[in-house]
Structures are given as structure tokens and as C-alpha cells.
Chains A and B, each alone.
Chain A
Amino acid sequence: MNFKDTLLNGNEGLFKPASLTPMQKLALRFVVTGILFYGLTALEGMIMRVYQVKPIPTFNSEHYFSLLTAHPLVGIFGSSYSIVFGAFLFLVPFFMKKPLWSIKMGNWTFILVAGGTFVFWFSDFLTHFAPLYTLYWPLPADFTQFNPLSGSFFILGIAIVMVGTLLFVFNIFKTITYTPEGYEKVPGCAMLASATGFSWKESIFRRKSKRRENLVSLPVAAVARGTVDTLLNALIITFTGVLILVYMIAAVMGFNLEHSAIDALLYKNWFWWGLDLIADGLVLIFVAGTWYILATMISGKELYMARIARLALWVELVVSWTVWSHHLLSDQAQPGYLKVVSGELVTAFELITQGLAFFITLITLWSARPLKMTNPLKFLLGGLLGFGLAVPAGIIQADIGLNRILHNTQWIVGPHVHVAILVGLTMTLYSAIYLLLPILTNGAKLYSQKLANFHFWAHLTGGIGMGAFMGMAGLKGMLRRTIYYEGEYRIYMILAGICGALLFLAFLAFLYNIIMTVGIKGVFGIFTPAESDTKELLPENK
């Protein structure tokens, strides 16, 4: 096939969108949209990297901080949520061997998450509403700096994403507990207890001979436990959004509500409790669950210490509800006992739970030795390395003594946040995408292995390098969320910028490779209605 044919029809014309089931289309829609939002996040990141090297005169600070507000939110909701939701709406029915409860609801989740992300991004792009994702009270309601109307559209976009998220949560739990027509009746409550971990005593304290089998498999349990945090987080963000919206609508109508009616420290505790359900909850639980799924699918072996892995997921869930105070170690009014217990000690548990997931995954892979170094395997190892680097970096900053000299520096956002998300999470998601690509596309063949190799190395070195140079600048006192005009940390920012450019090139190589694999017609075909109305995951002949 010549270049033009491949570009239009995909590699060897193997991808036929007409052959896809509604479920395959649903999963692919999420993945393609998630990849495109990742591209937008990466582009915004590159603009900010350039700005950190030398502020661009035509690009004022309002514009810069509006980018800084949109960048993580598009990355989390538009990209990571989309890819994860798409994968799990497909994998939960796959592992439970029954159809998704509602494909229609799945499609609504897709529309709301993608549409909501676009609304808040576009509102930010046009109006430069910039309270950052932290929204520290009363900044989002400070109408001397921000227009309440533009803020309302921003919050509306977030609210739309949250509605989509709640539909995802409902669909997942309903899929776990319902009995499809013609299937043997399943005990819904017991399934739910097994999935969320409320039957944990059963598997720990009962004798092995008397122990009953878990009703749901480990991958489904991982998804369910992460989804509990997804639910709680969506409720907190929705509540916070409504609170902010009340102030905004009042201001639009000419009333100025008192900021002091809300206690800024209580709000900060409440908001971080909810926000940490993403950072220290669903991300870590979903990632651990995805590692287990990938390790068993790549190795073809049972998961090593599956019972311990299941318990660790439950511990991670409980830990995620109690770690928020590590974000308030530099708040002097925060009670000392919360700083020590929640901020330091409980947070240190993440080293244990994530360390267990790390080793269980490696040992499972090792048990199938020798393995071929496939794309899913190499990206999985990259993801493991990412968290191997980022989790201890987080434990270091979650220390009362060290936080005093690290809080809000580039250390936090470099070696911890960016390495965790870009190397740890994103490479894990790439591993899943490379693994699921032939399954979701009914056998499409990857266009270029050389491009996949470049994608891997450029992403890995770019991600670790960027985090490292940001961290070095942070240790020299460079703050995050600020602008330096006198070239104070320029050498570090140039090096971080080069690594950022590598990351961006890696993304372009991946995007080009995927487009050439499925073709432009194939990409558009994913978004057209499916020809069959089967509830099955895969076509009957597969």
C-alpha cells in the first residue's frame, strides 16, 4: 500500500470500523478522545515550558496562569479519565463474562466527559479564569481578579464532567451486581461486598480450607475499589462547584456574599480530602489494578500473592481516605496530630501498598520468564519505574521537616507529580492501549515498530528527565505556580524544556503511528453508530 492509501485506510487496510461492536466503538471513542486531550495537555505543557525558560512578552501572566489552570484538569479529566473509563467499561464486562449494564449510559459518559472538558477548557481559553485546580478559598470567588460569568462557565464544564463521572460509577456497579436476561441469578449485595472489599475478613481470618471463593475476580475488585474513590471525589467536587457557583451567580446578580462565611482552612481540608481521592486514591488503585491485569495477560500466569494483592487494594482504599493532611503540613493552623498521623504516618503506608503492587507485578512477570520484550511489557516496566521514582519522592515531601523547605517548589510538581503521571500513569495506560489495540480493532496491525520504540524511549527519558531537572530547580528554591523574569533558573528550565520537547515528539510519533494503523477513515468510523446492536463485547466470529 502506498502512503496515501495507508493514511486513509490504515495499515494493510486491516481495520474495518464496520466490523466493530457497539462496545468496541465505545471503548475506542474514549481512547481516541483521551489521546487527543493528552495532545492538548502536552501542547499547553510545552508552551509553559518555553515560558519558564523566558517569559513571552506578548503572552501576559493572566494567559499563563489560565493555561496552568486548564493544563492539569484537561490532563486528568479529558485524557486520563477518558482512557481509564473507556478501558474499564470494556474490561469489567470482559472479566465478568456478561454485557455492560448500559451501553447507552456509557456513551453518555463519553459525551459528558469530553463535552465538559471542552467547555471548561474553552471558557478558560477565552476568559482566562485562573484559580488553579486548588481553588483555595476565597480565590475562585475573588471577583476583583476574575469575572464571575466566565467562572460560572468554567464550573459548569467541571460539573458536566462530574455528571458523566457519576454515570460511569453507576454503570460499573450496576454491571457488577445485575443479572442479565438468560444468565444464572447473581447475589447482587454479596457481589458488591466482594468487589469493594467489605468481605475482607472472609479472606484473611478464615482458615484456608473454610475460605469461600471471592465472588468477583481481582481485576474487577480493583476497578470497583478505585470507583468508590471516583464516586466520593465526584461528590466533593460537585459540592464545591455548587458552593463556588452560588457566590458567582450572586455576584452576576449584583449581590456580594461574604467570603468569611466559609472557613478557608476547613474548606482546604475538605477540598484536599476530596482531591486526594484522585491523587492518592483512584489513581493508585486503578494503576495497581491495571498492573495486575497487564501482568497476568502478558505473562499468562496467575497473579502472585493474589490474596495479599486484594487486601492491599482494600488498604489502599482506606489509606486514601485518611492521607489528605500531607497537603497541609505548611499550614500552621492545621492541628499537629493531623500533620503527624494523617500527613506523615498514614501517607507512609502508600510506600507499602504501592511497593507491594510493584513487586507482585514484577514477580508475576518473572514467573513467566523468558518473556518477549513486547510493547505492552516495555511500557508496563516504564510505568512501574515511574511510580518507583515518584512515590518515594512524595513520601519525602510528606514530612514535616522537609515540607518546610519543599512545599510549593518545583520538586513537588517535577519528581513527584509529573513523574507519577507522565511516566507512571501514562506509560501504564500506553501499555494497556498497545495490549488492547488488536482486541479492540479486530486485528489491526501496528504500522511501525520503530515508531513504537521511539515513542517508548523518548517518552521515558523525556518524562524522567523533565521531572529530574524540575526537581533540581526546586531544590535550589524555584517555586511552582510563579513566573521568573530574571533568568534565575534558566539552565534547569532549558534542560527541562528539551526533555519536554522529547515527550511531545514521543506523543507525535505515537499519534502518527496510530493514525497510520487505523487510517483517517478508521478514526472517523469509530465515531459513527455501530452497524450491529449486539451487547456482546466482540464480534461473534472473534
Chain B
Amino acid sequence: MVNSELVLNGQTYAYTIYAIVVILFILGFAYQVTKPGKAGVLKTSLFVVLVVCLTVLGVSLHITTSKTIPWVPMDLNRADIKPDKVFNITVVKHQFQLPSDKLEMKKGDIVVFDVTSNDLTYGFGIFRQNKTMVCQMQVVPGHKNDLMWKFEESGTYTIRSTEYSGPEGHQMILKDVVIVNE
């Protein structure tokens, strides 16, 4: 089951390994470049291989994530997907106004958070009890801000603004208002 926590853990390992390799590469280069010895000339063909590798690396990341991260196709095609529930939320003067005290849904439901801002640009993020992020989007005034999501785990989640909207914005937190039932 692929959820955002698993993706983040995968990213942590992948980037850490990459970072160690790059650091070791530069350290190795720094050591070798000061050593006596003849410098070989890099062939043009190898240089072309390098360009191809960089291209493949850059593009393959997006292809991989679009095929393995479940919320990508859902997000891009959300207009054609019928949700199980829609929650209409309004934000004004640094306050989230929910349709009810708690937003309840079942695990596996496809839900839409449709958030409207009546004044500033805000953020809308959902967080687990351990503070890790489930998902987020920007909330831009004058535009439709709809986030489609499928919760893979039951539990209680917190909503908070993820975008700076002035010095009061960091207090825009609604604790434990999203309830996902089994």
C-alpha cells in the first residue's frame, strides 16, 4: 500500500545514498587531481553518454512517480472521477470554516476538499498524529482549489495552513478534525 509516508521514506533513502555518492565523488576528485599523473582526455562519445544519462535521469523520475504514486493520476484526472464525499471549506481572516465540526469519511473513500478563500492566499494541509504530512495544496482567492484524496489508513488527522498569509497565519491549525473510520 503506497501512502505518502512510504514515499517520503523512500525519498529519504534514495537522496541520502545519492548525496553520499556525490560527496565521495568530489572528495575522490579533490584527492586525485592533486596527485601526479597524466590526465587522459575524455572521448566525445563518453560525453554524449553523459548527456543521455542526465536526460534519462531527469525524465525517468517523473515517469516513475506518475506510475507508482497513486495520487498523481487521480489529481490530473480529478474532473472525471466521481468522489464519495465533497467537503466545502471556506477560509477568511485566517480562519478555516468547516461544514461540520469533524470531517468524517471511511478508509478507501475518494473525497474532495473544496476550499475557497475569501481574502488571501492560504495553504491547506492534512497532517498525521506524528506531524508528518499526508497532503497539501495552495488556496488561491478567486479560484477553485479542490484536492482529491483517498485515505489508505484510518485515524485522526489535523488541518493546518501550509502557506504564509501574514504573521497570524501560523496559528491556522484545526487539531484532530479529520476522522477516517475503518
Beta-carbon contact of A401 and B137 below 8 Å:
no
A-B contact list, 9 entries, CB within 8 Å: A142-B119, A142-B166, A305-B47, A370-B34, A400-B66, A401-B7, A404-B71, A477-B127, A477-B128
A121: chain B residues at CB < 8 Å are none
Contact partner of A381 (CB less than 8 A), chosen from B30, B61, B128, B138, is B30
Interface residues of A in 298-341 (CB under 8 A from B): 304-305, 308, 328, 330-333, 336, 340
Contact partner of B142 (CB less than 8 A), chosen from A265, A336, A472, is A265
A142: chain B residues at CB < 8 Å are 119-120, 166
Beta-carbon contact of B144 and A332 below 8 Å:
yes
Residue of A nearest to B72 (CB): A401
Shortest Cβ-Cβ A-B pairs, 4 listed: A348-B58, A401-B69, A333-B143, A401-B65
Q: How far is the CA of A372 from the CA of B30 in the complex (A)?
A: 10
Residue of B nearest to A419 (CB): B19
Q: How far is the CA of A308 from the CA of B170 in the complex (A)?
A: 47
Residue of B nearest to A362 (CB): B29
A13: chain B residues at CB < 8 Å are none
B59: chain A residues at CB < 8 Å are 345, 348
B19: chain A residues at CB < 8 Å are 389, 468
Q: How far is the CA of A218 from the CA of B23 in the complex (A)?
A: 29
B95 within 8 A of A: no
B169: chain A residues at CB < 8 Å are 482
Interface string of A213-255 (1 = CB under 8 A from B): 0000000000000000000000000000000000000000000
Residue of A nearest to B94 (CB): A145
Interface centre among B33, B65, B135 (most CB of A within 10 A): B33
Contact partner of A136 (CB less than 8 A), chosen from B55, B133, B145, B163, is B163
Beta-carbon contact of B123 and A408 below 8 Å:
yes
Interface string of A103-132 (1 = CB under 8 A from B): 000000000000000000000000000111
Interface string of A468-488 (1 = CB under 8 A from B): 100110011111011100001
Interface residues of A in 21-63 (CB under 8 A from B): 60-62
Q: Least Cβ distance of A247 to chain B in Å?
A: 14
B170: chain A residues at CB < 8 Å are 61, 481-483
Beta-carbon contact of B168 and A265 below 8 Å:
no
Contact partner of A348 (CB less than 8 A), chosen from B7, B18, B62, B144, is B62
In terms of DSSP, what is the predominant structure of the interface of chain B? mixed
Beta-carbon contact of B164 and A396 below 8 Å:
no
Contact partner of A405 (CB less than 8 A), chosen from B30, B51, B57, B133, is B133
Beta-carbon contact of B142 and A408 below 8 Å:
no
Beta-carbon contact of A369 and B35 below 8 Å:
yes
A71 within 8 A of B: no
Which of A351-359, A499-507, A530-538 forms contacts with chain B?
A: A351-359
Q: How far is the CA of A274 from the CA of B33 in the complex (A)?
A: 40
B4 within 8 A of A: yes
Residue of B nearest to A343 (CB): B62
Q: Least Cβ distance of B155 to chain A in Å?
A: 15
A363 within 8 A of B: yes
Interface string of B114-127 (1 = CB under 8 A from A): 00000111010101
B4: chain A residues at CB < 8 Å are 404-405
Residue of A nearest to B114 (CB): A332
A384: chain B residues at CB < 8 Å are 26
Interface string of A363-382 (1 = CB under 8 A from B): 10111111111000010010
Contact partner of A402 (CB less than 8 A), chosen from B7, B32, B57, B121, is B7
A138-B119, A344-B62, A401-B7 given as contacts; is B167 within 8 A of A61 (CB)? yes
Beta-carbon contact of A65 and B57 below 8 Å:
no
A395-B61, A400-B65, A405-B4 given as contacts; is B140 within 8 A of A352 (CB)? no
Interface residues of B (CB under 8 A from A): 4, 7-8, 11-12, 15, 18-19, 22-23, 25-26, 29-30, 32-39, 41-42, 47, 50-51, 54-55, 57-59, 61-62, 65-66, 69, 71-72, 75-76, 119-121, 123, 125, 127-128, 130-138, 140-147, 160, 162-170
Q: Least Cβ distance of A396 to chain B in Å?
A: 7
A483: chain B residues at CB < 8 Å are 170
Known: A365-B33, A395-B58. 7 other contacts (CB 8 A): A331-B143, A370-B33, A399-B62, A408-B163, A471-B15, A479-B160, A482-B170
A137 within 8 A of B: yes
Beta-carbon contact of A479 and B132 below 8 Å:
no
Q: How far is the CA of A408 from the CA of B171 in the complex (A)?
A: 16
B131: chain A residues at CB < 8 Å are 476-478, 488-489
B147: chain A residues at CB < 8 Å are 332
Beta-carbon contact of B141 and A348 below 8 Å:
no
Beta-carbon contact of A371 and B34 below 8 Å:
yes
Residue of B nearest to A371 (CB): B33
A418 within 8 A of B: no
A401-B65, A477-B132, A483-B170 given as contacts; is B145 within 8 A of A333 (CB)? yes
